[in-house]
Structure 1
Amino acid sequence: MAEKGIVPVKLSLTEGDFYTLWAPNWREGGNEWQAFLGANDDLYVFNSPEELLVFLESDDKHDLTSHPEWKKFNSGDAARVVPDANAELDIIGAPALLADRPSYANVKTLSRIFAVMRSLGHVTAASPVTVFFSSHSVLSNVDRGSEHYSGPNGLGEWTSVGRAVATNWNGVVDALDEAITVKEVNSLFTEDAATRIQEAQAAVQAAREAEEQIAKEEAEKVDPYDNSPWAAAGIDPIKVSIDGRTIYTLRTYLGGQPVFLGKFGEIFTFNSQKSLLRWLVEHDDHDLARASTWSDLMLGINAGETELLVHSDNVYSFNGLVKDINTSVDAVDTQQMARAYELMADTADWADDDSMNSYFLANPRMQDYISYMLGGSDTSGYVPHAPFNDHSESWRELEEMLIKRFSKF
């Protein structure tokens, strides 16, 4: 419940449920104040939120107009008179809370009830209420929360609160019953007020749902990888499926050139994510160690806090390509082929060898074929045609060249 400003509250008393406005403690002119909706010595309550709204929109005078937040509160929509769940205070039913265990919900609810009742007693000068709270210091500990009653003496103190309430509650509630004034309003306006309240609540709910939908859509746009240690370091785990096996390794780009987890042209590969991480903890003799962010990445890995996370952009599958190439041009997934070719080219660049260039010089039609399939412009008018077994065999040889770079396969 709000601790400042003006809030609507629902008070459940002997004669039923009543609605009013409460201004919790505020400071003005060096003094501390608190108030409820009313005039002079009368505290106004209403049988429904719509009756409360009708009164606020009438010309009747009341003391809350002098509150520093009044204009802000009264400029709100019609739903400003509807209490939220925390401001629905079952005063008459408070003893039932104390008959139960001091759970978080029970203690918090009782604390809110006590806070409003203290304020009601102060504002209305209802002595049975003020005397009740001043005479039982154990009541103030309710504000400390349920944790206060979790210790060895907690249940005993909770029982003491219950005993004080059981003995005095009827007198306290009677005093409040006498202190309130049930204000009547012109019933001709209540139906319209109820309609406007419902419309305002529906508008608020629609706005909330729209905000939640926008937040959900924005959250879906955020790639979890972007918040990972790998993204922060600019070093990516990669997953390669080839020749019926799956292996994992790492790659980054330094000065625009690919750098793999490896050394002297050999890529260190692993059959599982965990084995890769375990190896990293015990070894630092590899090309990636020269990356400026490597030490930062290893802090989390050494602490066991960083898991291997492979982004979909770093998953390479060679599965089925040889068969598809041998079938027809249309059978080949060109996106799969382009990604596979990208990996082969990166590994060759990192190893600083001319093996792929030499291969294509010896097999110019395979270079034309790949260029044609991947949308290249320099194919010298070449168009692939059946049979495709030479192309599929050449692609197989390229795959074998890649596999030979892997340390474990």
Structure 2
Amino acid sequence: MARPSIVPIALTVDDRTGYTLWAPPWEEDGEEWQAFLGTTEDDTAKVHLFPTPAALAAFCRSHTDHDLADHPVWPVVVGLGAADLTPDDDHRYDLDGVYDIAAENPDRWAVEELAATIDIVGRLAECLDTSEDDDEDDDEEESEGQFEAVADLVGRPEVGSLGLGVEAFVGRSGEDAWVGVGGALDELWEDVVEELSEHLDWTGGGTVTVEDYPAADEAEEADEPEDAEEVAEAQEAEAVDEADHEAAAAPASGVRTIGGGSRITASPAAVAAAQEFWEAVGILPVEVVVPGAAGVTLRCYVEDVARFLGSNGEIWVFDTPTDLAKFLSTNTEDHDLAEIASWPEVADSDTLPLPSEQDRYDLTELSEVLTEVADGASGLLSSQALAQPVEGIRDIAEYAGLKRVDELLSPPSSLGRAIALSEREPEAQLRPEDAAAIKSDWDDVVTAVTGALVWRD
């Protein structure tokens, strides 16, 4: 069981995005608890939603009449600002988009996103269903509960297969299972959303109005800074806020974040502007950090298989985005991205290849933290911290044909078991007694991957 923590999340329902807080399962006095920011009135439990992280932060500072007020780390949350309460990409759940995801091929990202969305819906239903409280003294037959459609959906075997990962949807039987997932959603999802909507409070406990919510796509645009001056102001505000709250926030969970620091200096506005071009051409800049070196390359997916700038299984890496851009403008060598239809646009572009945060893979810090955990720093690292570095490792190993890496990323290796745990229980913390073996496997992986990287001038 993970240490008590509170996580900001975003829910998009009916073209409206609301921000709230979720307390993943924790144990207290021998009992397991889980909760969302909300209250129960007239036997109806509701989750408070807010149009912005700033509105959520303001509520947290001034209200204590809610279900998280007695949570062990609530005193820390009270001191957090909007930047701290902005959900990361892994905690944004688009309930409007499940049909589109189910219509895609069952690649790793589609399966994980659909699994996460259905999982959070199930957790909401579990916390918001008050029918058990109403019937706990009733000896007659149990009622079906307030979330019949949710229970039906999560109980479907094909939907349960989402938790097994993309491997459950490979081959003929896997294709049938994916079709079954789509069929279950077609049959039940509208009822699921209707049941859930009755328990969503879009007034933020009476602090906002429905009119305060922009459309979901407008909300995403509002999160992006408009110009360099706005970026500078936002960064300055975040720096002040971080200085104010760092001492309080650090003890909240004691869990380290991996891969958060880039070796590339570029403003968020510059990265966002560059991403428009790179996403349009379907080839993305990637930063890789290995022992003693860090660099930038390019990656795309062809039929869900990673392909990098390079050839013969070797990945060409450049010290800086400027070095890579210069190479792209003058290169005449053959490589594995040259046959991509959009490559001529890349070769002719003067847009710097600036990686976004989700395309930065720091393979060194994880080893350092595993060493600290092995030395007894219990609770320092959650299994979720493996996700982003492992994603980068998988892509590189797939392209370079590193079979030994594939073996180390899968059970029964210590690292493979830790990765499996991260997929089942992302908040679970790695134990000191396991960390040394995991670090040994991870170091072998990094060594193999580093051998596939070729630094270019």
Query: Normalised by the size of structure 1, how large is the TM-score?
Result: 0.46
For the pair shown, which has the larger CA radius of gyration, 1 or 2? 1
